[in-house]
């Protein structure tokens, strides 16, 4: 009985030392993961700046902006803008990264489907508000990067 008590006591004494050693091991992958996330954030910022710069270059200073944003291609753009009936709008989209995305406007008569290459090209889509409108920009499989977008009021329809 005495021997068991000593083994138990020794086990109790060594357990905290083992746990402390395991918690302070140099094999912690967190610094590499943190560095990788930092690199991703820098890449996202660079792509955001590229897409936003291209969008700003084609924005008409006299137009009336309704809505805009910048999203990851993987998240896409999903908006239901409150647009005035009988008014024309212009959706401008720029994708910077790799692959492609697609603009989808519903109902289909209010706009359409249009491919958006993720090469920094500027793509325009005319929107006509005749009721509730839904605008989506979805990344195709394998696409990555950032999407900058803007909806501007361009005037009344004839």
Q: In this predicted model, what pLDDT tens digit does every residue of 144-156 receive, in sequence order? A: 999 999 999 986 4
Q: In this predicted model, what pLDDT tens digit does every residue of 24-48 receive, in sequence order? A: 444 444 344 444 456 688 989 999 9
Residue 83, φ and ψ in degrees, nearest 5:
-105, 145
Query: Higher pLDDT residue, 128 or 29?
Result: 128
Res. 86 pLDDT band, cuts 50 70 90: confident
Question: pTM here?
Answer: 0.70
Number of helices (H) and strands (E) in the chain: give both, helices first: 2, 6
Query: Higher pLDDT residue, 86 or 142?
Result: 142
CA distances from 38 to 31, 44, 47, 75 (A): 10, 10, 14, 19
């Amino acid at each position: 009985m005495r021997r068991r008590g000593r083994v138990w006591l020794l086990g109790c004494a060594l357990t905290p030392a083992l746990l402390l050693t395991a918690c302070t091991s140099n094999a912690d992958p967190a610094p590499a993961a943190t560095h990788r996330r930092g690199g991703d954030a820098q890449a996202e910022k660079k792509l955001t700046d590229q897409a936003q710069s291209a969008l700003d270059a084609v924005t008409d200073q006299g137009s009336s902006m309704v809505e805009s944003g910048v999203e990851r291609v993987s998240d896409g753009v999903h908006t239901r803008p409150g647009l005035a009936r009988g008014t024309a709008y212009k959706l401008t989209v720029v994708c910077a990264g790799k692959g492609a995305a697609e603009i989808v406007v519903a109902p289909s008569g209010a706009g359409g489907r249009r491919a958006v290459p993720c090469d920094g090209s500027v793509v325009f889509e005319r929107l006509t508000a005749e009721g509730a409108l839904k605008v989506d920009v979805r990344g195709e499989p394998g696409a990555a990067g950032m999407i900058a977008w803007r909806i501007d009021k361009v005037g009344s329809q004839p």
